[in-house]
Amino acid sequence: MTEQKIRVLVAKPGLDGHDRGAKVVARALRDAGMEVIYTGLRQTPDMIAEAALQEDVDVVGLSILSGAHMALAPRILGLLNSNGQAHVKVFIGGIIPDEDVPRLINMGITGVYGPGSSTEQIITDIRQAVSGIAT
């Protein structure tokens, strides 16, 4: 029987060059057996939503250290919804002030992770969020 791997788009929206966290998380997810596509730096919300559609991913992981998460997250969620991808789970990591976490969760983000977050926890949470899909 063929196993269906969890497909994750790791994306870096915004204009900053902080890409270490995105690369660390992308590698950890790949090592955990997921199919990972990394967009590279400086992606617009439209580019991210289009890549999510073309790659038919289960999860979009956004890495945002610029402080622009409250502007970028709703835009990306809106584009996923209008592309018929409301089922895609969206995770965010980076520099996210505590007071923004409940606001992000309320708008439909599945999980939020700050500096020092355990990649094991991220893997567990992604598997749980898309349960039904193997590995």
Rule CB under 6 A: which residues touch ligand B12? Answer: 10, 16-22, 24-25, 61-63, 65-67, 91, 93-95, 113-117, 119, 122
How far is residue 12's CA from residue 43's CA, in Å, rounded to a whole number? 6
CB of 83 to ligand B12, least distance (A): 19
Q: What is the DSSP letter of 18?
A: -
Q: Are 110 and 89 in contact (CB under 8 A)?
A: yes
Select the residue whose beta carbon is closest to ligand B12 and give its number.
Answer: 93
CB of 119 to ligand B12, least distance (A): 6
CB of 6 to ligand B12, least distance (A): 13
Cβ nearer to ligand B12, comparing 24 with 101: 24
Q: What's the distance, CA 119 to chain centroid? A: 13
Cβ nearer to ligand B12, comparing 2 with 94: 94
CB of 1 to ligand B12, least distance (A): 29
E-strand ranges in the chain read 7-11, 35-38, 59-64, 89-94, 111-113
How far is residue 79's CA from residue 16's CA, in Å, rounded to a whole number? 22
Cβ nearer to ligand B12, comparing 16 with 100: 16
